[in-house]
Structure 1
């Protein structure tokens, strides 16, 4: 533990924390706006804008339908520095979704937590919270909300809303049957205490150095809930809840709760974000969010944000259609698949001038284009024993022709790589874990398979398991990552060469997730997220934790869920190191050293395998769409593009 763990740090606007809570060599929490994001150009008096709010809102104020701006803003609004220059009001951001995949919404509209990452992914900065006091060496966090801040319906946002989450959701066994490891430390769950109307103190039994980073993640572990609206849908606050459940024709109050807290469909749900939902995901072919008149942020001249009036997410069921619409200039800014897929880049690059857009390179944090996870806790004891055999996994890795896959599927972009930290991560300076067993060598593959004892083969050349059955591995894939099926088709031939029958089960996204949750599968594939700084927050590829699919029962053991199974000793060491030396240490180098130990064990055990470092990711940005940083990270932990402050994006006439 850090020798400074008892030091009290007061983090307020204009003050910065000392060198004990760090990430990547930079301050852990910074609150000076000038340090948050570089000041934008064009803020001189000569360029001063005259309007202080969107014209549509000014008209409503004049008509008496809306209070004046001063009454809608908090006493101390958050000041957002623009990336390029001050923006103009108006316009619709034409965005997109593929089917029911809401990732585009999560990284754009949804990202507006208590504290958030800055644009450089160096500091955690205040957002809804005006400031944070850290004491007890990281055991206590006192959040002060913005006095006078309001929900989108004009009701006050106060400490009661956070306490409502704590009492009604976090402590409710029906809504939170299992407490995440991220919300309990030292064997005791998080404690929350209301200090006054705008202050809440969170306490842990042990120092929790990563708490603020977890709050700034794509799915914050503490929710902001409008208690004044949601109390009517909670059994502890509404004695008539049963009648309401019956009226809605639902089976339980829990179903009613999830229906009313659905941020993608419930247009009545108040929000604190820059836009409010006006057309839900299940209401047609577009999701629509319109300007929130009570948003709490302003630009350096005190003009209320956001600049853009509306965000629309057109729903596409086919990647090809989205690509065609993007190429014709009908998408304003988008960065997910299929835009980011290297296969589509030639088409998009060819039509960029005609479509009036550019493709901007992003700083990728994914460590693999495709991770492969055998189910090490398979319910079939024969398959479990097979998959847990390290020689079996090594053999399968040697039997993957990665150069061929990179050439044929990834447009010659990439490098053979395992599910390992990216080469540039600050806490591991070797590529041995990334390059091991990546050679395409069928002789070595056969040697390792012979070591396992599966030497007998069927008449068709497939190896037989101890029960005399041909060894067949069914691999689940998600249709949204269509190139993974192409990769598996190539692997199918090379695995057959060494006597393994690979079968492909390509599932719709709506089926893929639930199937993974059952744990009833042989093998899964997924994109290799969390390969850079985010690996400290989410080490799912290093050992079995929340989000891992290579050992669901071991993951449940770590998370305290059921059914579960105690992991082997090497993984238990990883889990202990992560808890004590990474999550619990306030010292940066100690955390890095803990990560190195965890990575070394992952290298030796070889739990999972990968194909290639991903190709360069790009974002599509229209020429008249402004204030988007040109060096954005492409990450889930830095929820692209949320920390770039999308409220300061603006659109000009073409």
Structure 2
């Protein structure tokens, strides 16, 4: 064990020395690639080979319909396909679906599936698998966060309540055709179908409430461009090319997905054991000087934010949340930690998306305003300089998932800023899967349950638009508190509920935008999430790899196009 640690230490030392010797000048930017040296000569792509990509967090499971996180989808996007996928302009295009027809009344959608598609074990993919997947999301025992996708379908609520033995609004026409009928026109319906289709023949005899424990979570069968090979816990997941993929065989033979501490992964880049990995912003000037690798930035439609548990008595008062927002110097966070890779966020909807309202309440950095709001809420400073009310100090713990250095550093600055105004905050570092158990808690027998005031106080995470802003409904709608969705902050507001439902029925995009903007304004007033910044994520990529083109859909979304240059 000692020898292993010494080897890692030696690699880290060499890497540190190399970085210190490299130029600290900002790298020039051309399109998505940043290099401070002459770009490597383009080599001819060859067929085959292995690429190793590393991420900071290990997946929790590999079933795409169970509380999917970015750590999970980094892998599942390569294994599973969905009916539809968003293109780079957020327009939904076919994946397993060849095309589809929409009825004149806007309530029926008939999907024509691609023919000849097979599951990785050789079984044929059919419309029955699609029916099975979406019916399962409405099963009364399913409690893994995706019911909102099928709620608009005729008969889904009755099936969920156990009053029907099938969903009448899902109809299999033949092996390659399936029809969905919604209760009324539902604007984001097609985008809600962007979720992996799971195999009926593997899971049909398993209750959806038990899927999380099923062996297929550790050995998934999909239809995607890569097949699962093995998962070495805490180390890596190995995938191999699906040579019979309906979209064309991947260029690579294998992809290895590793996970671990950012410094260790960077050291592995130095030893050339890893080809692709995220880079802490602080290391980008030096990493860009490596002669065998370049920097590629991942664009995103996401916002990093602080979320509060509104079951906590301190955070029930909106004035406390607003005060904490005024006590944050977002510009200092961005300039200190992110530099050119970040920008201040004042909206939880990404600034480059049509859902962003340009006219929102802005919480400027103002410690006097923060103090006034706390005093208005009944808090006074005690002898230790900490605000207290009814003898209880304004003190809480922030859960900070490890793995992303910028997020970890942001938490440290937040602690300093809040303590400066008299609010006590402790940081609890934990891995991402452990944080998920706090935000989406379970009973002793493994069932999802509602969040309580004792599960957590606050946390820092990122969230973004994957396909449609209707995704926010599951995070802020009263009906979507765990175990029914992702509203783990337990936010509830009748106006927001009404607007979120109303926008789903508005087909006119301009009118729908206005409704979403109203949602954004009300959420900005309530500050149950405090938006901090938007960030583009730099990756280091070995020059032998071509085709790596991450965007808001994910770092591995186009993995079938990756190749090795000769």
Q: How does 1:591-610 map to 2 (within 5 A)?
A: 591-610=512-531
In structure 1, what is the Cα distance between the partners aligned to 2:337 and 2:486? 38
Please report the RMSD computed on the Cα atoms of aligned residues, expressed in angstroms.
3.3
Determine the structure 1 residue equivalent to 2:216: 261
* Cα distance change, pair 495–648 in 1 and its aligned pair in 2 (3 A): closer
In structure 2, what is the Cα distance between the partners aligned to 1:613 and 1:209? 27
Contact 2:43/2:565, CA 8 A, preserved across alignment: no
* Cα distance change, pair 516–438 in 1 and its aligned pair in 2 (3 A): same
2:508 corresponds to 1:587? yes
Determine the structure 1 residue equivalent to 2:532: 611
C-alpha displacement of 1:114: 1.5
- The counterpart of 1:225, out of the listed 198, 204, 215, is 198
2:427 corresponds to 1:514? no
1:144-170 CA deviation, whole Å, 9 max, x = no partner? 222222222222111222233355x33
* Cα distance change, pair 85–333 in 1 and its aligned pair in 2 (3 A): same
In structure 1, what is the Cα distance between the partners aligned to 2:146 and 2:281? 39
Secondary structure in 2 matching 1:311: strand
Q: How does 1:118-157 map to 2 (within 5 A)?
A: 118=87, 120-157=88-125
- The counterpart of 2:228, out of the listed 277, 293, 300, is 277
Contact 1:186/1:205, CA 8 A, preserved across alignment: yes
Secondary structure in 2 matching 1:537: helix
2:543 corresponds to 1:623? yes
Q: What's the TM-score, normalizing by structure 2? A: 0.77
Q: How does 1:83-94 map to 2 (within 5 A)?
A: 88-94=46-52
C-alpha displacement of 1:321: 0.9
Determine the structure 2 residue equivalent to 1:342: 281
- The counterpart of 1:310, out of the listed 254, 260, 263, is 254
Determine the structure 2 residue equivalent to 1:193: 171
C-alpha displacement of 1:559: 4.7
Secondary structure in 1 matching 2:288: helix
Determine the structure 2 residue equivalent to 1:72: none
C-alpha displacement of 1:482: 4.1
* Cα distance change, pair 473–143 in 1 and its aligned pair in 2 (3 A): same
Determine the structure 2 residue equivalent to 1:359: 295
1:176-215 CA deviation, whole Å, 9 max, x = no partner? 5887222112885262111112211112111122122122
Determine the structure 1 residue equivalent to 2:86: 117
C-alpha displacement of 1:561: 10
* Cα distance change, pair 558–307 in 1 and its aligned pair in 2 (3 A): closer
Contact 2:347/2:520, CA 8 A, preserved across alignment: no
In structure 2, what is the Cα distance between the partners aligned to 1:89 and 1:322? 26
* Cα distance change, pair 528–154 in 1 and its aligned pair in 2 (3 A): closer
Secondary structure in 1 matching 2:333: helix
* Cα distance change, pair 86–215 in 1 and its aligned pair in 2 (3 A): farther
* Cα distance change, pair 461–345 in 1 and its aligned pair in 2 (3 A): same
In structure 1, what is the Cα distance between the partners aligned to 2:334 and 2:489? 37
In structure 2, what is the Cα distance between the partners aligned to 1:176 and 1:610? 28
* Cα distance change, pair 198–591 in 1 and its aligned pair in 2 (3 A): same
In structure 1, what is the Cα distance between the partners aligned to 2:528 and 2:333? 22
In structure 1, what is the Cα distance between the partners aligned to 2:395 and 2:297? 40
In structure 2, what is the Cα distance between the partners aligned to 1:503 and 1:279? 39
In structure 2, what is the Cα distance between the partners aligned to 1:586 and 1:347? 49
Contact 2:310/2:490, CA 8 A, preserved across alignment: no
Q: Select the structure of larger CA radius of gyration.
A: 1
Determine the structure 1 residue equivalent to 2:164: none
Secondary structure in 2 matching 1:325: helix
Secondary structure in 2 matching 1:603: helix
- The counterpart of 1:182, out of the listed 149, 152, 155, is 149
Q: How does 1:625-644 map to 2 (within 5 A)?
A: 625-629=545-549, 632-633=550-551, 635=552, 638-642=553-557
- The counterpart of 1:211, out of the listed 189, 210, 230, is 189
Secondary structure in 2 matching 1:175: coil
C-alpha displacement of 1:555: 4.3
1:482-537 CA deviation, whole Å, 9 max, x = no partner? 4434333333333233322111222222321101224334532333322x675613
Q: How does 1:481-630 map to 2 (within 5 A)?
A: 481-518=404-441, 519=451, 520-521=454-455, 523-530=457-464, 534=467, 536-539=469-472, 545-547=473-475, 555-556=480-481, 559=484, 567=492, 571-581=493-503, 583-614=504-535, 616-629=536-549
In structure 2, what is the Cα distance between the partners aligned to 1:647 and 1:418? 36
Q: What's the TM-score, normalizing by structure 1? A: 0.68
2:383 corresponds to 1:459? yes
Identify the range of structure 1 (520-529 vs 196-205) with the bigger mean alpha-carbon deviation. Answer: 520-529
Identify the range of structure 1 (445-454 vs 480-489) with the bigger mean alpha-carbon deviation. Answer: 480-489
1:445-494 CA deviation, whole Å, 9 max, x = no partner? 22221111112x3321222222x122212111112234434333333333
* Cα distance change, pair 561–522 in 1 and its aligned pair in 2 (3 A): closer
* Cα distance change, pair 110–152 in 1 and its aligned pair in 2 (3 A): closer
* Cα distance change, pair 115–623 in 1 and its aligned pair in 2 (3 A): same
C-alpha displacement of 1:594: 1.4
Determine the structure 2 residue equivalent to 1:78: none
C-alpha displacement of 1:310: 0.8
Contact 2:474/2:486, CA 8 A, preserved across alignment: no
2:260 corresponds to 1:321? no
Q: Which runs of 5+ in 1 are unaligned?
A: 1-83, 236-252, 299-304, 540-544
Secondary structure in 2 matching 1:287: strand
C-alpha displacement of 1:121: 2.7
Secondary structure in 1 matching 2:400: strand
**Alignment coverage as a number of residue pairs:** 492
In structure 2, what is the Cα distance between the partners aligned to 1:177 and 1:374? 21
Contact 1:359/1:621, CA 8 A, preserved across alignment: yes
* Cα distance change, pair 308–135 in 1 and its aligned pair in 2 (3 A): same
C-alpha displacement of 1:111: 5.4
- The counterpart of 1:447, out of the listed 367, 372, 376, is 372
In structure 1, what is the Cα distance between the partners aligned to 2:43 and 2:111? 31
Q: How does 1:11-26 map to 2 (within 5 A)?
A: none
Contact 2:474/2:487, CA 8 A, preserved across alignment: no
Secondary structure in 2 matching 1:546: helix
In structure 2, what is the Cα distance between the partners aligned to 1:285 and 1:565? 35
